[in-house]
Amino acid sequence: MQGGTKFKIGWPTGIAIVMANMIGTGVFTSLGFQLPDIRNTAALLLLWVLGGLFALAGAFSYAEIGTAINRSGGEYTFLSKIYHPIIGYLSGWISITVGFAAPVALAAIAVSKYASQAGFRSAYLGALIVIAISVVHSFNLRVSAAFQNLSTVFKVVFILAFIAAGISIGAAPENAISYVTSAKAEFLSAAFAISLIYVTYAYSGWNAAAYITEEFRSSRTDLPRALIGGTVVVTVLYTLLQYVFLRHAPYEALVNQVEVGAIAASNMFPASVSALFSGIISLLLVSSISAMVWVGPRVTSKMSEDYRLWSFLRFNGNNIPVKAIWFQAAISIALLLTGTFEQILVYCGMLLNISSALVVLGVFVVRRRQQFSTVYRSPGFPLWQLFFLLMSLWMIVFAVLYKPLETLIGLSNLGVGVITYFINKRISTA
């Protein structure tokens, strides 16, 4: 609070939040997990284009739902209002346990991997970064906005420079660009659907601005601009980045590797410059951690207003959810120290897909009921929504069939969420 007026953000900061949430771990790490089963470059790039269209379909839908309901909290708020409180609660439970904590943990793992390429090796580097960023966001909204804007500008400028260098420098003599296998056959394979989970995880964050709706100066105009603008820019950057990675590293060097950006940079530049680039990429991931540390606790705090079980995580007097920030940090560090990168990525991606699909389906429900005053209407309705829902169903089915362990972990997580919901009802009626 300054001068008696609550500080609010505008759509440029909203775009920065969306882009910072999106441009993170997935784009610099997931290619290596796609390559074992998908070799054709056209099929690989199609993955990233489809991921971008999927995110854009979601952004259109969230903009409509978000401006209609006009309350922070993302899926938790939307699903509680559209369907039933238990649906919203379970979505919020996903956000509390893995929705933001798991991506923070994944980003911290990737930071450690890239930092080690730059010569900084520490078993606890990721945990220390999570703690440091949590401290930054424990002060006030103005500090958070300034830090996020600066770190996002730095991130985008670096990525543009990396893409420009990757296109202008001659391709590596041995690279991963290949058209030997059939693009059509790979597109229709189960591996493509599983890889799409990785890609949509890389695009996760397109909905970030919906979690802080009430912090915009004019949410009914700023929210659509933030969601859609950020998503379009990131889609272009992502597709070009994958092409650069493939162009500057051999298949054998990239397959099943996390730090694909560092591997490509090592073939593009001398060793000293390559190490510098790896260090910079690790800093870019710090910006992603920052965005998720800002946004995630807002969901937890919204739940704390409605459920006594979480009342200890409410906003403080400075309108900052300090306790929620540190609660999320603790979960992130626990995942960071105990989980494996691929398992966290798959089961987190599946749970997030379910929540997002229910919100997109909510566009049909809201329009039919006419229960909210709709300010923004998604273009091309219902084509974008149907595309999003079919893609989500496709990925979820293949995840259940081909990643049963990760699916079981996700379902177990939801089961615990149901238990806490009824525990809370008992507490509330006691």
Residue 4 has pLDDT above 60, yes or no: no
pLDDT tens digit sequence for 193-233: 878 877 887 888 888 888 777 778 877 788 888 999 999 99
pLDDT at position 296, please?
Answer: 80
**Is residue 53 situated within a structural domain?**
yes
Among 399, 12, 413, which Cα is nearest to 197's? Answer: 399
Taking only the tens place, the pLDDT of each residue in 156-175 is: 888 899 899 999 988 888 89
d(CA 36, CA 195): 10
Low-confidence winner among 99-108, 199-208, 231-240, 344-353 (lowest mean pLDDT): 344-353
**CB contact set of 430 (below 8 Å; sequence gap of 6+):** none
Q: Taking 70 as the threshold, does the pLDDT of residue 1 lie above it?
A: no
Q: Who has greater pLDDT, 88 or 102?
A: 88
**What is the DSSP-derived secondary structure letter of residue 212?**
G
Query: How far is CA 298 from each of CA 137, 183, 197, 351, 389, rounded to the nearest angstrom?
Result: 12, 42, 26, 19, 26
Domain assignment present for residue 430? The answer is no
Average model confidence (pLDDT) for the chain?
83
Is the Cα torsion angle 245, 248, 251, 257 positive or negative in sign?
negative
| Residue 58 included in any domain | yes
Q: Residue 244 falls within a domain, yes or no?
A: yes
C-alpha to C-alpha distance for 384 and 295, rounded to whole angstroms: 26
Task: Report DSSP state, residue 172.
Answer: P
Q: How many CB atoms lie within 10 A of CB 292?
A: 29
Which band of pLDDT confidence, cut at 50, 70 and 90, is reported for residue 369?
Answer: confident
Length of the chain: 430
Scan for tokens 């989970």, then name that residue: 197
Cβ burial of 312 (10 Å; 0-12, 13-18, 19+) is exposed
Q: What is the pLDDT of residues 300-326, one digit of tens each?
A: 777 888 888 888 887 665 667 888 889
3-state helix, strand, coil in the chain (%, to 5): 75, 0, 20
Residue 402 lies in a domain: yes
Contact 196, 59 (CB under 8 A): no
User: Percent of the chain scored above 90 by pLDDT?
Assistant: 22
**Domain extent for 344:** 11-422
Higher per-residue confidence, 4 vs 193: 193
pLDDT digits (tens, 9 = 90+) for 120-131: 766 578 888 899
278 lies in some domain: yes
Beta-bridge partner residues of 5: 2
* 293 in any annotated domain: yes
Between the CA atoms of 65, 71, 75 and 79, what dihedral angle is there, to the nearest 10 degrees?
A: -70
- pLDDT bin (cut points 50, 70, 90) of residue 347 is low
* Tally of domains within the chain: 1
Residue 160: count other Cβ atoms within 10 Å of its Cβ.
Answer: 12
Looking up residue 412, the CATH number of its domain turns out to be 1.20.1740.10
> For residues 407 and 288, what is the distance between their CA atoms, to the nearest angstrom?
26
353: in domain: yes
CA distances from 154 to 23, 236, 285, 364 (A): 12, 17, 11, 39
Q: Are 52 and 238 in contact (CB under 8 A)?
A: yes
Q: What angle do CA 60, 332, 391 make, to 5 degrees?
A: 30
CA gap 344, 410 in Å, rounded: 10
